[in-house]
Structure formats: structure tokens, C-alpha cells
Structure 1
């Protein structure tokens, strides 16, 4: 099985692929020891043509590949596209456009929540994929025949999956549903968050504004360090350590050494000195300028039962429309609607989701409709004034 390793071969392959209305794309990469993923293989296919590209080949310039990703005349088809797009954004400094994610499309078409690629292929084409090469070392050369066959299958079967889902979306007039999702997926902010927002990734229960100030400062410092040194965030500082630092607020190396979550002797390193400078800067913020703790949503009494009724309605509508419940509303959407009604600012009350589910959810909250058992089936009915 041929792998492209020269500039001429890559340019020729891209020239052929760009003649198609769409191209299926997948990547193999590793990122266990780095912040940014290391791109190890690119797979592409269109009707009648396939291409395996070795981005690690000496002297190979991926500019033709990135030009194809930016070509608005060719739709780029991925399955679970987020990590593939992250690589393209980082290495090519561009956002692929237009994009079609078959995982999202499958949810819109009723294949369940976050369906895997091999499950989707089997359901649509009947083919069973060999996934035994999924976690192999893609950086090691030469790649085996088995690895290449596995990699190519990730884009060749995707052609039939894409055609099936696209036809289903057109038939059900739901293409605009997918377009809304793709706008989020292809937003630059999705892949290049500011380091000052890194604290939002952390799941921590903070009690005081001072703790939040330290968490924000330390998380931003860690993010910048990890990016600059190209190592995983945890190699710089573990999440648990950030929480303990926020609670204990160490001002010097001696206090830092007493923490349980930092490695022994780390307090004497240059990284620890930089960290302490960040912590002390956060502690010096005037009290009136300290960040405010995010408000924790507290559902009012009785709204939990209302949320359970809304979940029943959600499932009924999802089954009727043939879509995954996750596409229509999240658990947080349900809780917010149950507690706040029309005032809830959640995705389920915007765009096509509102037309399909949100308006009905609000009618249930207002008491305009109700749910009952009808001949051993659950049904929705109007409540007469």
C-alpha cells in the first residue's frame, strides 16, 4: 500500500482530490508526551481515489494539503472532527471550510449519542472494521501493512457513510440543523482559547475570591508554560496541585515544600520560583478587585420533579423526530428550563432546537400541555383552559 512521501506525489494527489465535491479526511497522531499533537499520518479519499500521506517524511511541505482544507469548493468530511481540526488549525493556521462531521450528523439522524465510527459503518454499510491497530505507535517507521489498511478504512468507508447521512438530512429537511452545529465546530475560539480562560477547564469547588484569583493566575501560567515547552499540562503542574495551592496560598519555597501535591524537591526549581511569583501577584490584588466567584446554579424547590417530566417529554420528542436526545437538549438545559422557564438562556431554547423541543418544553412548564398514560403508552395532550 503506497504512502506519499514526496512533494510531487502530494501535489498530484491533492490535484485529483480537489476535483471532487467532497473529500473524507482522518489523521493519526500521538500526544501523550506533548501539548500539541504530533501529526503522524493523513488519510484522504474521494470516489475513486485514496491518499495516505506521511507528514514525517523528510522535506515534505504540507502546504498543498492545507490548501485543500481551505478550498471552499470541496466539503471536508470527518468523523468526530474536533481533534483533526485542532491539528489543522495549529499546523496550517487555518480553519477547514466547509466541514461535515458524520458523528454529529448521525445524532441528528437518530443513530444515538456520540456513535463511534465502526458502529456507524456497520449500521450503514454492514462492514465490520478491524480496530486492533487503533492504539499503535503511529510515529514509528516503517508503518506496517496492517496499520495502513486500518488507517485507509477510516476514510474509504466514510464515503458511503457521508452519502447516506447527507441524503437522510436532505430528505428530512434537517441540513440546517447540522449547519448550526458546524458553526461551533469551525469557530477559531474552539481551538485557540486564551490562557487566561484556562481555569474554566478545572472542576474545583472554590470558597473564596482569593482562591479563585490564585486558580486563575496559576492555570494561566501553567497553560503558557505547557504551550511554550510543548508538554502536557500535567507535566507542569497537576490539577490537584492547583487546587491545593489555591487553598494554602504558599508565599515562599518553604510553604510550597509542605504541600502534598507537588513533587519532593520541586520547590527549589526555577518553575517553582515562577509559580510563587504568580501566586504572590494574585494575593496582592486589592480586595475590591478580586474576581467574583461564579454563581452556582441552585434549582428552586420543586424544580427537580419538573425536570424529570421534561426528560420524559424530551425522550418522546426525540423518538418521534428520530434524533438523539443529546442533540435536542443537555441535562443542564433541562434543569435550567425547569427552574427558569422562558428566562433560561440555554441552547434548547434557541434556533432549530427551540422549534423542535424548546417551545414544547415551555408549554409543559406553563401547564399548557401534560403527559399521561394512554393505552399503556405515554402521550402528550393539550390542557384545555
Structure 2
């Protein structure tokens, strides 16, 4: 598959139209939201394209990106959106609306497996074995071609994977559970940002 990867500095171009269902992922310097800055946001329309926005970490001013993330008429597909949405809310100071999540969908649909990584889902549903070599690399500086390819892989397959998972959820009559979990996503992010990392439902 030939992929169209474009790197944008600070924000999306004014005239870019990615449609109304986009895949979204973020790269940060670590998983501690208040310590580890948001560096990149990557987007895909699902047509083998990846738009990678290298954010200005002095201002985090990205009005076009913020407008897109906030738009309730545009669906955003994440894989483990909990971490991405927390970083987006903290650094870009915006809500991310109309969310889907392939990791939650996988955990509900693929009860035959205990592995719900993106790499596993791409292998099962797309039959491509991607490299995760650069998962823990430094995304805070200049990006090399291998890092850009890694970032692209995190979004270009999400549309197809989500469609496959929804088919299973419908067949197994678990779609309502999935939709109810998505409704809780913003609350789960707010709990994370308030430092309630543990399960508040536990005894």
C-alpha cells in the first residue's frame, strides 16, 4: 500500500478537507499528561493518507486543528483515545467530540483474544505486520522518515479496523455496550486529569 504522508508545522492548512470521519492519534514525550508534552497529532481520511501536525509547543496555537477536533459533526476514530484526548484537552485546551475507539471496540468484540494492540488488529484485519520499533522514540525534535511512517501507520488503518469490529459487535449484540462505553470516555479523561487513575467503581 502506497501512503501519502504530509508533515504540517503548527496547524492544519486552511483549505484541507478530510471529510467527516477521520482517524486521530497523538504522540507525546511520555504518558504523564502534565509532565510529558503533546508533540504531534496525526490524522487520516481513511484514503491511505496521513497528515502529521508538528505542534508549536510554546503556544500550542492550532485553530484549524482545534476546530476540527471540537466539531460535533466530524467523527474521530482513536485507538486508546483515553491518553490522546487527555493530552489534547490539557495542551490544546479543547474538547474532542464525536469519538469512536478501536481499542474499546476490540475488547468488547474480540473476547476470544487478550491482545488488543493496534499492531495485532492491523495484522488480523488488514493482514499487514507493521513495525512498532519507533513507538518509544523522541517525537519532540526533527522527525526522520521512519518516525513519520510509524505515525502514519497509527491512523491509516483505523477506518477499516473499526468497520470490521462494528460488524462483530452487531453480530454478537454488543453494540449498545460499546456506545455506552463511548459516552463515558470524556468522564474517564476528566478523572485522569484530576489524578483519579484507579477504578472508581472498585470496592
Q: TM-score range by the shorter chain?
A: 0.7 to 0.9
Q: Could you list the structure 1 runs, at least 4 aligned residues long, displaced by more than 6 angstroms after superposition.
A: 57-60
Give 1:2's aligned residue: 6
Give 2:155's aligned residue: 155
Pairing 1:106–2:110 present: no
Q: Distance in 2 between matches of 1:33 and 1:168?
A: 34
TM-score, reference length from structure 2: 0.83
Note closer, same or farther for the CA distance 1:107–1:6 as it changes in structure 2 (3 Å cut): closer
Q: Quick check: which has more Rg, 1 or 2?
A: 1
Q: Distance in 2 between matches of 1:128 and 1:30?
A: 25
Partner of 2:38, secondary structure, is: strand
Give 1:126's aligned residue: 127
Q: Distance in 2 between matches of 1:154 and 1:132?
A: 13
Note closer, same or farther for the CA distance 1:201–1:3 as it changes in structure 2 (3 Å cut): closer
Partner of 2:61, secondary structure, is: coil
TM-score, reference length from structure 1: 0.46
CA contact (8 A) 2:22 2:74 kept: yes
Partner of 1:36, secondary structure, is: coil
Note closer, same or farther for the CA distance 1:28–1:171 as it changes in structure 2 (3 Å cut): same
CA contact (8 A) 1:26 1:84 kept: yes
Give 2:34's aligned residue: 35
C-alpha displacement at 1:192, in angstroms?
A: 3.1
Q: Distance in 1 between matches of 2:95 and 2:10?
A: 25
Greater Cα shift, 83-92 or 33-42: 33-42
Q: How many residues align?
A: 194
Pairing 1:69–2:73 present: no
Q: Distance in 1 between matches of 2:171 and 2:91?
A: 37
C-alpha displacement at 1:57, in angstroms?
A: 7.7
C-alpha displacement at 1:31, in angstroms?
A: 3.3
Which has the larger share of helix? Answer: 1
Which has the larger share of strand? Answer: 2
Partner of 2:7, secondary structure, is: coil
Which structure has the higher relative contact order (CA within 8 Å, separation 6+)? Answer: 2
C-alpha displacement at 1:33, in angstroms?
A: 8.7
Q: Give the unaligned 5+ runs of structure 2.
A: none
Give 1:189's aligned residue: 190
Q: Give the unaligned 5+ runs of structure 1.
A: 203-329, 337-385
RMSD: 2.8
C-alpha displacement at 1:5, in angstroms?
A: 1.4
